[in-house]
Chain A
């Protein structure tokens, strides 16, 4: 087995194992903390895929900001109090069935399709290529995203702030 294969399987086990804890843990704080290995596992996958810029942004935004925000909101709303409350609704069986069906469908689609393979190599310095692309052909997408960011920033402030 090559190093890449070993790394892939290790990262897959980390990601999916942490994902299972996120999804099934009866303790919401454990779920939120387990998000971090899940995100870091995905970061490792990005590095395997030679996307180091996306990997770093993933750590910065997901592991460093979104998880912290989630933990923050859990602690503001429940603190330590809500832990004994039932975390799962009565749709457990149906949900598992739906998820299982979805998994089977996706697996069938993914393994039976003949995915085309492209030729060429990734640019030597991907951050540079990404920057060029964001200010060139993808400028409109970039600007659109920034507007969405601004709108959601203002929206989040207005929704979350106390009325007085």
Chain B
């Protein structure tokens, strides 16, 4: 029997993986990938809550769809920023992009 807790633990682990990528990666694109993993974890939560606590409404699935849409926006803008950074600074390693550090 798969319960809500199973899904929540799985999504917590996925979220933590994403968080680790965001904290430790140098490459801008890899950080975006970590963010995508975190958003996916949140989506699993939303859909799981939808099924287990309020099955009659589809509100959780609707939230998940909106999060997916916004993730697409975020990916598009984020990758555009990476491209722009590569073009003007010739690096996509975020620790080398330090023009405004001091």
Contacts and interface: CB of A to CB of B under 8 A. Distances in A.
Chain A in direct contact with chain B (Cβ < 8 angstroms): yes
Interface of A: 2, 4-5, 8, 12, 15-16, 19-20, 22-23, 28, 31-32, 35, 38-39, 42, 45-46, 48-51, 53-54, 57-58, 61-62, 65-66, 69-70, 73-74, 76-78, 82, 85-89, 91-92, 94-96, 98-100, 102-103, 106-107, 110-111, 115-123, 126, 129-130, 133-134, 138, 141, 145, 148-149, 152-153, 155-157, 159-160, 162
B4 A31 contact: no
Interface of B: 1-2, 4-10, 12-21, 23-27, 29-30, 32-34, 36-37, 40, 43-44, 47-48, 50-56, 58-59, 61-62, 64-66, 68-77, 79-84, 86-87, 92-93, 95
Contact of A53 (B12, B23, B61): B61
B20 A35 contact: no
Contacts of A116: 53
Contacts, number: 234
A31 B37 CA distance: 12
Given A73-B29, A121-B56, A62 B36 contact: yes
Contacts of A157: 80
B84 A149 contact: no
Given A23-B21, A141-B62, A159 B80 contact: yes
Given A110-B8, A111-B9, A156-B76, A19 B37 contact: yes
A117 B66 CA distance: 24
B79 to A, nearest CB: 5
